Amino acid sequence: MALKITVIGTGYLGATHAAAMAELGFEVLGLDVVPEKIELLAAGRVPMYEPGLEELLARHVAGIEGSSGRLRFTTSWEEVGAFGDVHFVCVNTPQKHGEYACDMSHVDAAFASLAAVVREGSLVVGKSTVPVGSAGRLAAVLPEGVDLAWNPEFLREGFAVRDTLHPDRIVVGVPAGASGERAEKTLREVYAVPVGEGSPFVVTDYPTAELVKTSANSFLATKISFINAMAEVCEAAGGDVVKLAEAIGHDERIGSKFLRAGIGFGGGCLPKDIRAFMARAGELGADQALTFLREIDSINMRRRASMVEMAREALGGGFLGKRVAVLGATFKPDSDDVRDSPALNVAGQIHLQGGQVTVYDPKGMDNARRLFPTLGYADSALDAVRGADVVLHLTEWREFRDALDPAELAEAAASPVILDGRNALDPARWREAGWTYRAMGRPRA
């Protein structure tokens, strides 16, 4: 009989995983402890902007006309325990308030609730990003006869559906012995389709599986901070970091991806994951191995400050009484997520220093308003730019690059000066339309 799957926690990760499992043909039951989330999902809607996810839900959520009916949602643990052969735990692990370590309370609560209802012979699969050592500890919480595997998730916001259905790799951490063999066999069955499509399936122990996730994110953060450090040197030496990135990226050993210099990384993962990793290494007595991550973090934070300085300089030395247009609020394009967004951080710093800031973002306005209610907001890029003394391009939405008319915006601005914090606009196009265009790590024309 086909395996029945539950997904515990229906945020970005869980909602996407649940819909993807239904797409692969499984009967799926999603659980969340927040009833409002469940109501929304049961109607085929998601509380965030993620391209393709609502379409995928509509194809499978029971009760939606024309759907497969394979995907249902609940708030009942009893139902989850009775239903599932395989339980995926997808709850979040945010940064602890005022500390580097991550907050495991949601994971611990989910395991405690699951342990009370899970059937003997079923498999629990942890997908949350956790400090190394957690899986071993959590295995002991589950009753005898229930197996645990750790299967980290590498999806990117904005590409969540694609990354889940066609993963670069599937990593599975299992214990040695019969329990691990059973867990591996079951997960090979669950992921038969992606593996058939060529996704590598890497089987390892718990700590390695946990570390794959944190080390992958640390590597990505390091790549971004590396190129941003080169941007700082380029600024000092008169070099061009965009050309430099292109040139080093041709070396296959380096690769061209994740070498876009600018105001740096943000979001709900990279910043908190590298901090939690440092905290955990410290607990393990291996903190020296990760001291470089402290530098990665500080290069990253310095880019935000340096964007503020660039804007101050463009305004002749101060923000008081100046109008600053900010294009972009989310931490990256194709998402409405503003968690630890470099764009909003820069906007907030300028506002605190007396600048009159007006923000526009294609999808992040509601979340930005909630987080930074004192900033000004406009309904379009043109409205944000109207009367501006300087324009900051801080999230590289395609519509900013392709759909904006620099000539029209130049007319609307009080002073046509644009600072590109993402190195994503075409300098020639803006300069031809009369703009002073400056970017991070690039020479001034």
Residue 260 binds to ligand UDX (criterion: CB under 6 A): yes
| Residue with Cβ nearer ligand UDX (331 or 377) | 331
Compute the distance between CA of residue 88 and CA of residue 75 in angstroms, rounded to an integer. 15
Strand order in the sheet with 170-173: 71-74, 27-31, 4-8, 86-89, 123-126, 147-150, 170-173, 201-204
Asked about 269 being catalytic, the answer comes back as yes
Which residue type is seen at 81?
G
Choose, by CB under 6 A, the member of 262, 362, 421, 441 that binds ligand UDX.
Answer: 262
Q: Which is nearer to ligand UDX, 27 or 396 (CB)?
A: 396
77 counts as binding ligand UDX under rule CB under 6 A: no
Should residue 332 be labelled a site residue for ligand UDX when binding is judged by CB under 6 A? yes
* Residues 204-221: b if buried by 16+ CB within 10 A, e if exposed: ebbeebbbbbbebbbebb
Per CB under 6 A, 49 contacts ligand UDX: no
Closest by CA position to 85, among listed 200, 191, 1, 166: 1
DSSP string of 51-70? TTHHHHHHHHBTTSTT----
Interface with ligand UDX, residue 441, by CB under 6 A: no
- 120 vs 252, beta carbon nearer ligand UDX: 252
Q: CB–CB of 340/372 below 8 Å?
A: no
Q: What's the one-letter identity of residue 201?
A: F
Residue whose CB is less far from ligand UDX, 72 or 363: 363
State which of residues 256, 258, 386, 436 lies at the interface with ligand UDX (CB under 6 A). 258
* Using rule CB under 6 A, residue 201 touches ligand UDX: no
Shorter beta-carbon distance to ligand UDX: residue 262 or 406: 262
The 218-257 site mask, x for binding ligand UDX (CB under 6 A), equals: --x---x---------------------------------
Q: Any contact of residue 155 with ligand UDX (CB under 6 A)?
A: yes
Among positions 119, 137, 156, 386, the unique one binding ligand UDX when judged by CB under 6 A: 156
Closest residue by Cα to residue 146 from 90, 203, 81, 206: 81
Nearest to 86 by CA among 31, 30, 4: 4
Closest to ligand UDX by CB, 224 vs 384, is 224
Decide: is 266 part of the binding site for ligand UDX (CB under 6 A): yes
Neighbouring-strand partners of residue 72? 29
Query: Where do the H-state alpha helices sit in 315-404?
Result: 342-352, 365-371, 381-385, 398-402
Chosen residue from 26, 49, 88, 265 binding ligand UDX by CB under 6 A:
265
Do the Cβ atoms of 344 and 372 come closer than 8 Å? yes
Active site residues: 269
List of residues contacting ligand UDX (CB under 6 A) = 154-157, 217, 220, 224, 258-260, 262, 264-267, 269-270, 331-332
